[in-house]
Amino acid sequence: MSCQTLPTEQTAETSSANVTPGPLRIVAFLCNWCSYAGADKAGSNQLPVPSELSVIRVMCSGRIEPPLILEAFQKGADGVMVLACHPGDCHYKEGNIRAFCRAELLQNLVPQLGIDPKRFRFDYVSAAEAEKFSRITNEFVDKMRSIRL
């Protein structure tokens, strides 16, 4: 089988093969200046954020190396999110662009490891986007729940 023929979408059966049962475990890496601030604002606005989501704060989304994402999957994460500043808004000028490039890479890489690429999500959340943070984290967790079923 060539790499091109590897499925990028998986059935519930295959995708949950390496996931241990129990509560959903979702990890979100957030940059300090935009997406973490957006998550804080979701809190100030009392918007719902899934309790299954565990946030790991880093100073910049550019800090996240792809092996860390893969390690999250290895250790049983149902889903992993990387949330960054919008393009042009990075506190460190372009760390979010590095994060974006790595996300592109991961999207292509994870299916090779038998991981449904839907289980990895890269997105932008600004310090003002409390509503977006709430919405996309809920969407993502709901999707992970449906993949698990």
Cβ-defined contacts of 69-74 (< 8 Å, 24+):
69/29, 69/106, 69/120, 70/106, 70/109, 70/110, 70/113, 72/27, 73/18, 73/110, 73/113, 73/115, 73/119
117 binds other proteins (CB under 8 A): no
Q: Which is nearer to other proteins, 6 or 56 (CB)?
A: 56
Binding pattern for the stretch 65-104 against other proteins, x by CB under 8 A and - elsewhere:
x--x--xx--xxx-------------xxxxx--x---x--
Contacts with other proteins: how many residues (CB under 8 A)?
Answer: 42
27 binds other proteins (CB under 8 A): yes
The crossing angle, in degrees rounded to 10, of helices 130-148 and 35-44 is: 100
Q: Which is nearer to other proteins, 63 or 143 (CB)?
A: 63
Q: Which is nearer to other proteins, 21 or 23 (CB)?
A: 23
128 binds other proteins (CB under 8 A): no
21 binds other proteins (CB under 8 A): no
How far apart are alpha carbons 140 and 26 in whole angstroms? 9
